[in-house]
Amino acid sequence: MIDTIYRCEICGIESDNPVRWIVIQCNDAQLTVLKWTKEAAGAPHARHYCGEAHAQVYISRWFESFCG
């Protein structure tokens, strides 16, 4: 059994044990920030970030353009 490897969308760092990473789930009307859980990270359309700073980069982009 191979653990899932997650990749930060901003910097590209990869981890199979993403402690303190952040999950964002969003559509064009709503953005939700979640603490890392396997359930949240594995949800359809979940996005993965290595930390608060990179989650914020994505949030700023979302405000500008929404999910696309």
- Residues at the contact surface with Zn ion, assessed by CB under 5 A: 8, 10-11, 50, 54
Beta strands per DSSP E along 1-68: 6-7, 14-15, 22-26, 31-35, 47-49
Q: How far is the CB of 1 from Zn ion (least distance, A)?
A: 26
Q: How far is the CB of 60 from Zn ion (least distance, A)?
A: 14
Helix (H) and strand (E) counts in the chain: 2, 5
Nearer to Zn ion, 12 or 29 (CB): 12
Nearer to Zn ion, 5 or 28 (CB): 5
